[in-house]
Chains A and B, each alone.
Chain A
Amino acid sequence: MYSDKVMDHFQNPRNVGKMEDPDVVGEVGNPTCGDIIRVYLKIKDDIIEDITFSTFGCGAAVATSSMVTELVKGKTLDEALEVSNEQIAEELDGLPPAKMHCSNLAADAIKNAIKNFKEGKTGLEENDNAEAETAHDHH
């Protein structure tokens, strides 16, 4: 059901892992199925110098996280905000329809990080984003 490219990014995720001291962190939870994607960014002069991710989710969630880090690395913050979920899916040679929502997660995690950064937050403050709470609202 997944393209070879999705499987490749799932098997060998790029930029995976937590970052030691990121400038900012972005996180989204998926209200549909409860998954979480977190991205860690190093930003210098409005450019994303480094980025890593960690993901609690399906194969598509891992692959789209991996892909989005490749797409935004080295980009300016404004360019990074332009990256859409359709673009991520396209770069992965498509996703099954039921998995398109996972690509939203990856794009939204970046947007969340950049929003935090612009508001002068690190994203590591206790429970500071609504999306992360929705991920847990079924408990």
Chain B
Amino acid sequence: MSKRYYFDHAATTPLDPEVFQAMEPFLKDKFGNPSSIYQEGQEAERAITEARERVQELINAADSREIIFTGSGTEADNLAIKGIAMALKEEGNHIITSETEHHAVLHTCEFLEKHYDFEVSYLSVDSEGFIDLADLREEIKDDTILITIMTANNEIGTIQPIEEIAEIAAENNVYFHTDAVQAAGQLDIDVQKSKVDLLSISAHKINGPKGIGALYVKKGTKLLPQMQGGAQERKRRASTENVPGIVGFGKAAQLAKKRLPEKQSKMIKLRDKIINRVLEEIDEVRLNGPRQEHRLPNNASFCFRYIEGESILLNLDMLGIAASSGSACTSGSLDPSHVMLALGLSHEVAHGSLRISLGYRTTEEEVDYLLEKLPPVIQKLRDMSPLYEG
């Protein structure tokens, strides 16, 4: 295959070679079940303990036992929300979330509404994707048991005021869960400082393997397990452990922590180059999400007027560039991205969305190539559009 330019790290990231190396023995010879008392099992058990400590360090948890490994970030979100809802259903049935959450959170909340009589408030966001803390305070009622708001948005990169939300939750004696799947490896996550109660992360967004995620659950938090079976993960998530996945996650977490300052400054520079150049060189384009420090370092999201996202993606793909869009035509459901609509964009504007997301190994040359190829693609499609009077 000729050279590819991968700009979709918010979807998934390549496995780091060091992560693969760490995993390899556990995919081959070291096959033991960590629950077994003989040597093979104990070796696997030790590897998991070490990986757990590395994930603990990535988010600065007080105790490694606060980390539950799951099959994905989605499962971590499900476990957090359903686990709290089931544990506290006698105390209340009200949950607060936002309109721009990932589907793993939104659809879990909708499920609880539909099948278990929970009541869910969906906070709206402003034109840059921020929730309003006054709205949040207003929504809290006596029977509110959980607030779940993402740390950073996967489509538009908006970083929510997590510490303030945690404070409001604590004042009102409500649990606070945050989906930090996009934020991990990009922002300094410190659960002790931010005082969140539950936090979801996923390995494959930080150059780890797919099929492994984790939920941080602060000591003392009431949570009902959602998977019944063996005693794994201190009885909070039954299933024989995905040992290679966990080991890979541990390595990826260690690398992510070590690389964070370097990665952040490099990505911010490239991100701002993309944002500035696109806004300069292409007219009738909108930047989605905020600028600067409240935006994820790796995210640039735009809406180009008069054209449609899938057409942009197909054209870019032919030029070797991989990116993503929230257009209705790419969604499978034929609805435009709920995040774009929550920003107040019309269907027509949401149609022309394009997300560029950078990774640890993205180079300036790759960015330059993208910036050279993008404007003519936009123009070509506009020339084809009945809405464009060029």
Contact = CB atoms under 8 A, between A and B. Distances in A.
Interface string A1-19: 0100001001101001110
A27 B332 contact: no
Given A56-B307, A58-B308, A16 B347 contact: no
Contacts of B310: 58-59
Interface string A30-48: 0011111110000000000
Contacts of B314: 2, 7, 10, 59
Interface in A58-104: 58-59, 61-62, 98, 101
B134 interface: no
Contact of A98 (B327, B334, B336, B385): B334
Could you say which of B318, B335, B347, B386 has the most chain A C-beta atoms within 10 Å of its C-beta?
Answer: B386
B385 A56 contact: yes
Q: Report, as a range, how many residues of chain B touch the other chain.
A: 20 to 34
A58 B387 contact: no
B348 interface: yes
Contacts of A7: 314
A17 B383 contact: yes
Contact of A34 (B311, B351, B386): B351
A54 interface: yes
Contacts of B328: 32-34
Residue with the greatest number of chain A CB neighbours at <10 A, chosen from B308, B336, B347:
B308
Contacts of A16: 384
A62 B313 CA distance: 13
A139 B347 contact: yes
* Dominant secondary structure of chain A at its interface with chain B: mixed
Given A138-B346, A139-B347, A35 B308 contact: yes
Contacts of A34: 328, 336, 347-348, 351
Interface string B123-147: 0000000000000000000000000
B383 A33 contact: no
Given A34-B351, A98-B332, A139-B346, A62 B386 contact: no
A33 B318 contact: no
Interface string B341-384: 00000111001000000000000000000000000000000011
A55 interface: yes
Nearest to B314: A59
Contact of B329 (A10, A27, A57, A136): A57
B386 A36 contact: yes
B330 interface: yes
B7 interface: no
Interface residues of A, number: 29
Contact of B348 (A54, A62, A136): A136
B306 interface: yes
B330 A55 contact: no
Interface in A90-130: 98, 101
A16 B328 CA distance: 23
Contacts of B311: 10, 57-59, 62
Contact of A55 (B334, B347, B384): B384
Nearest to A62: B311
Contacts of A32: 328, 334
Given A34-B351, A37-B386, A58-B329, 20 more contacts: A2-B314, A10-B311, A11-B318, A16-B384, A33-B329, A34-B336, A34-B347, A36-B387, A38-B386, A55-B384, A56-B306, A56-B385, A56-B387, A57-B308, A58-B308, A58-B327, A58-B330, A138-B346, A138-B347, A139-B347
23 contacts: A2-B314, A10-B314, A13-B384, A16-B384, A17-B383, A33-B329, A33-B336, A33-B351, A34-B351, A36-B386, A37-B386, A38-B386, A56-B351, A56-B387, A58-B308, A58-B310, A58-B327, A58-B329, A59-B311, A62-B311, A62-B384, A101-B334, A139-B346
Interface of B: 306-308, 310-311, 314, 318, 327-330, 332, 334-336, 346-348, 351, 383-387
